[in-house]
Amino acid sequence: MSNMAAEIRAKAAEYKNYTAQLLSELVQIKSYSSQEQDVCARITEMCREAGFDTVRTDALGSVIASIGKGPKMIVFDGHIDTVEVGERKNWQLDPFSGLIKDGKIHGRGSADQKGGAASMIAAGRILKELAYAGQYTVLFTFTVMEEDCDGMCWKYLIEEEKIEPDFWVSTEPTSCQLYRGHRGRMEIQCTFRGISSHGSAPERGVSAAYKVARAALAIEKLNESLQPDEDNFLGKGTAVVSQIVVNGPSQCAVPDYGMLYIDRRLTWGETAESAIQQVKDVMGEDVEVVEMPKYVKKGYKNFDYGQELYFPTWKIEENHPLVQGGIDAYRALYQKAPNVDKWTFSTNGVSVCGRHKIPAIGFGPGDEAQAHAPNEFNRTEDLEICAAFYANLVYQMDNIN
Torsions phi, psi for 190 (to 5 deg): -120, 135
Residue 77 known to be catalytic: no
Pairwise CA distance, residues 172 & 157, whole Å: 19
Out of 58, 77, 81, 376, pick the active-site residue.
81
Closest CA to 319 of 311, 330, 328: 328
Out of 36, 58, 112, 146, pick the active-site residue.
146
Side-chain-facing half-sphere of 212: CA atoms under 13 Å:
24
Residue 341 known to be catalytic: no
Element (H, E) at 8: helix 3-14
Pairwise CA distance, residues 222 & 244, whole Å: 17
Torsions phi, psi for 197 (to 5 deg): -155, 170
Side-chain-facing half-sphere of 302: CA atoms under 13 Å:
0
Buried b (16+ CB within 10 A) or exposed e, 263-299: ebbbbbebebeebbebbeebbeebbeebebeeeeeeb
Residue length of the chain: 401
Whether the Cβ atoms of residue 154 and residue 280 lie closer than 8 Å to each other: no
The set of catalytic residues is 81, 146
